[in-house]
Amino acid sequence: MAREETLTLAARTIAKASRVVAFTGAGISVESGIAPFRGRGGLWEKYDPAEYAHINTFRSNPEKAWILLKEMLTTVSAAEPNAAHHALAELEHLGKLRCIITQNIDSMHQRAGSSNVIEFHGSFRQFVCLDCARSFETDELMFDLVPLRCTCGGLLKPDVVFFGEPIPTDTLFRAESAASTCDAMLVIGTSAIVQPAASLPFIARKAGARVIEVNPEPTLFTELISDCRLVGKAGEILQRMVAEVRRIVQQEGLEDSYMLKSPGERSHADRDTGH
């Protein structure tokens, strides 16, 4: 099918659906200048993130783990949300996106204006002491001397999920619950490799959702569960797709009654899972 036709079909699917969830990975932030792990220009070309970002490395050889951490922190702090992050924020404002489940730790979705974001792997906004569990806002820390240490002497770890660490139970529950109750899932810029995150589109598909993938490269999702793949960069594709969703929604009066309520009127459970 021609690319334009696929994009229109995807936009129509989103416009007609009533429980849309976006699942994003490092690829969505590439146009913000943040390198992904895999693919061209990926961090994997320099380091093995599964080793440098493994919790055992962080505990036993924090100097080594900090080489990757410092590079990521520097890049993320200089980055701005791109057209793809803004397009998803607009989709939420249009009443067509219940929540975003992101594997990213860069806070770009919130900075673009999305309000319902499940951060599956945590974020760089806080650091936590591995010994006394005291937490610190990233803004209040100095990074001249790393590894960072708490006043108690313990190692300070960014509040992100390292390889070898489990996903916090409440985060896993909220993400699985959003995936298992959506009727369309937009899967953007993820290689389908990191588990258990990569199982979420399978959960959505098993529950009957349409799976729309946005990625310049094919993935395991493409082969097994995607109804369609929009081939190319997330920024350009999502901008065009959301413009088309807006046109359809306005032309056909498909606004979701959920969004006609103000955020304050939605229940707590609604906000948590995006329902």
As annotated, the active-site residues are 121
Q: Shortest approach of ligand NAD to residue 106 CB, angstroms?
A: 4
Q: Who's near 241: CB < 8 A, 6+ residues apart?
A: 7, 10, 11, 14, 87, 230
Q: Shortest approach of ligand NAD to residue 209 CB, angstroms?
A: 19
How far apart CA 139 and CA 194 sit, in angstroms, is 29
Residue number with CB closer to ligand NAD (36 or 81): 36
In whole angstroms, what separates CA 54 from the centre of its chain?
Answer: 20
Cα–Cα distances in Å, from 83 out to 36, 114, 234, 250, 263?
17, 13, 8, 21, 24
First-residue to last-residue Cα distance in the chain: 33
Name which of 78, 86, 50, 80 is nearest 65 in CA terms: 50
| Residue 195, number of CB atoms within 10 A of its CB | 8
Q: Shortest approach of ligand NAD to residue 245 CB, angstroms?
A: 18
Residue number with CB closer to ligand NAD (95 or 158): 158
Residue number with CB closer to ligand NAD (68 or 150): 68
Q: Which amino acid type is present at position 225?
A: I
Instruction: Kindly report whether the peptide bond that precedes residue 147 is cis, defined as omega within 30 degrees of 0.
Output: yes
Binding footprint of ligand NAD on the chain (CB under 6 A): 25-31, 34, 36-39, 42, 103-106, 121, 189-191, 193-194, 214-217, 219, 233-234
Residue number with CB closer to ligand NAD (62 or 189): 189
* 3-state class (DSSP) for residue 44: helix
Q: Which amino acid type is present at position 252?
A: E
Residue number with CB closer to ligand NAD (34 or 65): 34
How far apart CA 259 and CA 99 sit, in angstroms, is 12
Return the residue nearest ligand NAD (CB atom): 27
Q: Shortest approach of ligand NAD to residue 98 CB, angstroms?
A: 21
Q: Across-strand partners of 120?
A: none
Q: Shortest approach of ligand NAD to residue 147 CB, angstroms?
A: 20
